[in-house]
Every structure is written in structure tokens, then in C-alpha cells.
Amino acid sequence: MLAKLRLDTQVDLPDVKVVMESKTVDKAVILNVDGKDTTYIPAVVLRDIDMAVKCDGTSKTVIIER
């Protein structure tokens, strides 16, 4: 997917607290996509709370395991 971004655009991202397996993820954001609020958590944040995060560049897939 190719997306054009305007870097001068300001976006108000609400604070969101996500708790996964008793660990707080503090870098999540909520975005409204197609009229629905969706929570996004960067894969590197999941890795930092001891989830196994692997990337398969060929299939463009992120694999997340406990």
C-alpha cells in the first residue's frame, strides 16, 4: 500500500491505556477508520512487553506470539 502523507498536518490523538497480560502498553493510539475507532499498537511495543514479534518480509506479515 502506498500512502501520501502531509507532514504538516496536525492530528489530535487521544491518550489510550492498553493492558495486555498485566503489562501496560502506553504507546497505543486510537484512529477512526471507516467510521470505527480502532486501537493500533506498534509491533515494537509488543516486543518490549515480552511478546515474540517476527516479520516475514516476503509475505509482508507480522507474526506475534506469546
Q: Taking 70 as the threshold, does the pLDDT of residue 64 lie above it?
A: yes
CB-based contacts of 46, cutoff 8 Å, min separation 6 = 20, 25, 53, 64
**In 3D, which of 44, 53, 12, 7 has the Cα closest to residue 29?**
12
Taking the whole predicted model, whether its pTM rises above 0.75 is answered as no
CB-based contacts of 61, cutoff 8 Å, min separation 6 = 55
Q: Taking 70 as the threshold, does the pLDDT of residue 66 lie above it?
A: yes
Give tens-digit pLDDT for 2-29: 667 666 766 666 777 888 778 888 778 8
